[in-house]
Chain A
């Protein structure tokens, strides 16, 4: 038996929150590895940072900022849903969280390129 239709906003908000969390967790070791270069191999770090001028890296950064934004606002949405007295405008909150994430990630992207 297939799972029931999940094409409703709350389920999509749920899965976006989970996947962005997993993706961010997977990124963390790389992040710390690069940061550690500042102490162990400063020369190599400069070379690494020069790469951030490349368009492909800019796109990757856009993705990263989007993941951070979508995860943060998805988390705030959950906190509001579970800790504040229930409001029926929840679907709007979920949609708003996604829209705001796009706005922030988009603004960052425009500034970067």
Chain B
């Protein structure tokens, strides 16, 4: 049974549009958007898949904060009945709430966020010490679901279109600490360029809003240290 009415404002191509959505005790922001699409306006475009915080496709701006909408309860974002939903910040809008994720993933590649292996399937499986310093650092970042919440939260991305952003840099830091990755120098070169880790002002919005409680800001701080050490080592 509905417990009231939510006043929902959704940023769309033609401007903001208001909808009245039945409120329930147990309701996520994604439920609200889906209700609008199913009962009020079938032309509303948005993106989701798993609904359980695994796929990273449903992130949107909710009351001006980037959030994964499938795991965000309405009661978490509003005390009253007003909810403002918009497309993710810092990415081009395709339509309504669906943004073009290409720049986000292109930067992932540009930061060498891909596995650089040296072994083949015929080699024995590499032994990795689960409690080594590097592995602990790498483990800290591997739960990233590529939802782009950190990228949308980052003011440095807003100010510099070339900045690789928190997610891509955190991926680079993870690979840099991965004993199985063989391209240490390539990664350091990729993240120390003009759009690299040294653009970061440590504002911490990435870490503050990461839905998986990851810490990209610290990963970027790690990259700053490693690239600096690398610079001085090379200089000698």
Q: Mark A77-104, 1 if CB is under 8 A from B, else 0.
A: 0100111001000100000000000000
**Would you mind naming 29 contact pairs between A and B with Cβ atoms under 8 Å apart?**
A1-B11, A1-B61, A1-B87, A2-B64, A3-B89, A3-B158, A4-B64, A4-B66, A4-B153, A6-B203, A6-B205, A8-B204, A10-B202, A10-B203, A10-B204, A10-B207, A10-B208, A11-B204, A14-B201, A78-B202, A81-B202, A81-B221, A82-B221, A83-B224, A83-B225, A86-B218, A86-B221, A86-B222, A90-B204
Interface residues of A in 1-38 (CB under 8 A from B): 1-6, 8-11, 14
Number of B positions contacting A (CB below 8 A) = 28
A86 to B208, CA, bound (A): 16
Give the residues in chain B near A5, CB-CB below 8 Å.
63-65
Task: Report the minimum CB–CB distance from A70 to chain B (whole Å).
Answer: 16
State which size class the interface on A falls in. Answer: 10 to 19
Contacts A4-B89, A10-B207 known; 11 new A-B pairs at CB < 8 A = A1-B61, A1-B64, A1-B87, A4-B152, A4-B153, A6-B203, A10-B217, A14-B201, A82-B224, A86-B215, A90-B204
Q: Mark B177-204, 1 if CB is under 8 A from A, else 0.
A: 0000000000000000000000001111
Give the residues in chain B near A81, CB-CB below 8 Å.
202, 221
Q: Find out whether the CB atom of B89 lies under 8 angstroms from the CB atom of A1.
A: yes
Task: Report the minimum CB–CB distance from B160 to chain A (whole Å).
Answer: 15
A9 to B63, CA, bound (A): 19
Residues of A within 8 A of B (CB): 1-6, 8-11, 14, 78, 81-83, 86, 90
Give the residues in chain B near A9, CB-CB below 8 Å.
204
CB of B209 closer than 8 Å to a CB of A = yes
Give the residues in chain A near B63, CB-CB below 8 Å.
5
Q: Find out whether the CB atom of A4 lies under 8 angstroms from the CB atom of B221.
A: no
Q: Find out whether the CB atom of A14 lies under 8 angstroms from the CB atom of B203.
A: yes
